[in-house]
Structure 1
Amino acid sequence: MASKIVTSIIRILFLGLLFVFLFYPDKFHIKFEYPGYPQADSWHVRLAKLAFWLLFVIEILRIFYYGVVKSKAKGLVANIVTVITPLVVVLILIEIIFMYVPQSHEGVLSKASQIWWEKYWKPVNALGYHDKEIQNEPGKKKVLVIGDSFAAGHGLEDINERFSNILEAKLGADKYTIYNLGMSGADTRDEVRRLKDFPVKPDIIILEYFPNDIEKVGREKGLTLTGAEPYADLNGPMATIVKRFYLPNFIYWQLPHTGFSTFEKFVQTAYTDTTVLNAHLRDLSGMLAYRDSTQAEMYAVFIPFLFQVDKSAGYTKPVEQYLRSNNVTVVGINDGVVKIPEKERIVGKNDGHGSAALNQLIADRLYEAMKQR
């Protein structure tokens, strides 16, 4: 029996090399080449981790069986091992389960959100947008939707629940084709570049605007948002454990972190600081110049902070006035948002992006505005 225990210990030592290779490759300058690295594990890497954990469990149980059960060991050490062994095995099995549990998040921050992204963020076209491929469709009006993750449909499991897809169906796919250029993390300057680079010239432009569109300009002008970096509240070994393992990572992201009030203060300051605001409006002027060069109609829909509707409308009012003064049709939705129960406005408790109900509201309001034109 002693020899069997020794061989299991030797195999565990060899598994330790695999453990380092799979869980700490960066410490040894090892890089995996696949989309999403290093933020997300590919399904190949998760399969390798699954194999590792199963082999590790087998060796633990083998040691327990020959060292305690078959040898009929007694005493304090045997009792401790009898308690710890099933606990460790259960935790490993739960870790394995959470390697395949998707959950959308504000960004692709948590491991569960990375699994969600891999499972639901389809289709992705050749240009990298969460949208259909570009087609040659003469005779149809071309509509370009530009915006951030709200426009892209972050958190929606079915792309047909996204407001651009709903709007295309309402307008008639035989008469209109809508291309969605939404991109998570995009700001106005980036959106202008995306419009200019897109190979289809629009008849209509729809801007989806969210209060954090001013964030990057605010940072450039010296405003700071402390504590917003992922895992900034973790130190030492706990940070490593939470970042690299699925179960503790899932638990961590169920807990509150950077307070909304901190971000709200940043946004409020940005919109009331004339240096920041004027720089932001200059970025928007680039979008207006592109609209004028293509002679397209332009609409803008302002999505508020979904639990601070009136406040965020006040913050973005200067931007709304600027767009109106430049012949942009601003489509209001705030009166409709407040009629949707708060929990039904967002896709989930850990993801504040717009729900299917909110996307339906946006599509309906845009449709009504376009009919009037």
Structure 2
Amino acid sequence: MTSKIVTSVIRILFLGLLFIFLFYPDKFEIKFDYPGFPQADSWYVRLAKFAFWFLFVIEILRIFYYGVVKSKAKGILANIVTITVPLIVTLIFLEIIFMYIPQSHEGVLSKASQIWWEKYWKPINSLGYHDKEIKEEQGKKQILVIGDSFAAGHGLKDVNERFSNQLEASLGADKHSVYNLGMSGADTRDEAKRLEEFPVKPDVIVLEYFPNDIEKVGREKGLSLSGAEPYADLKGPMATLVKRFYLPNFIYWQLPHTGFSTFEKFVQTAYTDTTVLNAHLRDLSKMIDYRDSTGAKMYAVFIPFLFQVDKSAGYTKPVEDYLRSKGVTVVGINDGVLKIPEKERVVGKNDGHGSATLNKLIADRLTEAMKKP
């Protein structure tokens, strides 16, 4: 029996090399090359991790069987092992299960959201947008939707639930082609540049605007947002555990972290600081200049903080007024948002992006505005 325990220990030591290779590759300058790296584990990497945990459990149970059960060991140590081994095995099986559980999350911060991203963030066209490929379509009105993750449809499992797709369907795909240029993390300056570089000349431009669009220029002008870095509240071994393993990572992201009040204060300051606001409006003017150069009609939809609708409208009013002064049709949705129950406004508990219901509201309001003579 001793020899069997020794061979299991030797095999565990060899598994330790695989453990380092799979879970700590960065510490040894080992790099994997696959789509999505380093943001997420690929399906094959997770399969390799599953194999590691499965083999590790076999060896742990083998040692337990020959060291405690078959030898009929007694005493405090045997009792501790008898309690500890089932607990370890249970935790490992939970780790394996959570390697395959998707959950959307703002910013693709959690491991569960990385699984979600890999599973649902399709299609992706040759330009990197979460959208169809560009086609030569004569006689169709070309509509470009520009914005951030709300426009891109973050959190929606079916791309057809997104407001740009619903807009094309309601206007008629036989006469209209809607392209979505939404990109997670985009700000106004980036959006103006991407509009200019997009190979399709628009007849209509739809700007999706969210209050955090001013964030980057606010930071450039010296405003700070404290506590926003992921995992900033973790130190030492706990940080490693949460960042590298699925079960503790999932638990961590179910708990509250940086409060909304911190971000709300940042946004409130940004829109009332003339230095920040004027710089932001200059970025918007580049988008207006592009519209004028193409002769396109332009619409703007302001998506509010979905649980702070009235306050949000107050923050972004200077931007709305500016766009209206430049001939942009601002399509209001706040009254409709307030009629949607709060839980139905967002895609999930840990993801505050717009739900399919909210996207339908936006599509309906845009359709109504575009059909007006």
* TM-score (normalised: structure 2): 0.99
| Alpha-carbon shift at residue 27 of structure 1 (Å) | 0.8
| Alpha-carbon shift at residue 107 of structure 1 (Å) | 1.2
Determine the structure 2 residue equivalent to 1:32.
32
Paired with 2:34 and 2:197, the residues of 1 have a C-alpha distance of 26
Query: Residues 261-280 of structure 1: matches in 2 within 5 Å?
Result: 261-280=261-280
Letter in 2 for 1:20: I
Structure 2 residue 348 is the aligned partner of structure 1 residue 348: yes
Letter in 1 for 2:113: S
Determine the structure 2 residue equivalent to 1:79.
79
Query: Residues 36-75 of structure 1: matches in 2 within 5 Å?
Result: 36-75=36-75
Determine the structure 2 residue equivalent to 1:361.
361
Determine the structure 1 residue equivalent to 2:136.
136
Paired with 1:218 and 1:274, the residues of 2 have a C-alpha distance of 11
Letter in 2 for 1:224: S
Structure 2 residue 245 is the aligned partner of structure 1 residue 245: yes
Letter in 2 for 1:263: F
| Alpha-carbon shift at residue 39 of structure 1 (Å) | 2.2
| Alpha-carbon shift at residue 128 of structure 1 (Å) | 0.6
Paired with 1:30 and 1:232, the residues of 2 have a C-alpha distance of 25
Determine the structure 2 residue equivalent to 1:11.
11
SS where residue 338 of structure 1 aligns? helix
Give CA deviations for 1:197-255 in whole Å, capped at 9, x if unaligned. Answer: 11001000000000000000000000000110110111110000000000000000000
Structure 2 residue 182 is the aligned partner of structure 1 residue 190: no
Give CA deviations for 1:33-52 in whole Å, capped at 9, x if unaligned. Answer: 12222221111110110000
| Alpha-carbon shift at residue 130 of structure 1 (Å) | 0.5
Structure 2 residue 314 is the aligned partner of structure 1 residue 310: no
Letter in 2 for 1:255: L
Determine the structure 2 residue equivalent to 1:328.
328
Paired with 2:138 and 2:62, the residues of 1 have a C-alpha distance of 68
| Alpha-carbon shift at residue 305 of structure 1 (Å) | 0.2
Determine the structure 1 residue equivalent to 2:90.
90
Determine the structure 1 residue equivalent to 2:200.
200
Structure 1 runs of 4+ with >4 Å offset: none
Paired with 1:317 and 1:16, the residues of 2 have a C-alpha distance of 58
Determine the structure 1 residue equivalent to 2:287.
287
Query: Over the residues paired in the alignment, what is the CA RMSD in angstroms?
Result: 0.5
Mean Cα deviation higher: 73-82 or 317-326:
73-82
Give CA deviations for 1:14-45 in whole Å, capped at 9, x if unaligned. Answer: 10011011101111111111222222111111
**Structure 2, unpaired ranges of 5+:** none
Determine the structure 2 residue equivalent to 1:166.
166
SS where residue 353 of structure 2 aligns? strand
Letter in 1 for 2:285: S
Determine the structure 1 residue equivalent to 2:213.
213
Percent of residue pairs identical? 84
Paired with 2:39 and 2:17, the residues of 1 have a C-alpha distance of 22
Paired with 1:239 and 1:106, the residues of 2 have a C-alpha distance of 20
Query: Residues 141-156 of structure 1: matches in 2 within 5 Å?
Result: 141-156=141-156
Query: Residues 101-120 of structure 1: matches in 2 within 5 Å?
Result: 101-120=101-120
Paired with 1:40 and 1:158, the residues of 2 have a C-alpha distance of 21
Paired with 1:349 and 1:21, the residues of 2 have a C-alpha distance of 34
**Structure 1, unpaired ranges of 5+:** none
Paired with 2:207 and 2:38, the residues of 1 have a C-alpha distance of 32
Letter in 2 for 1:217: V
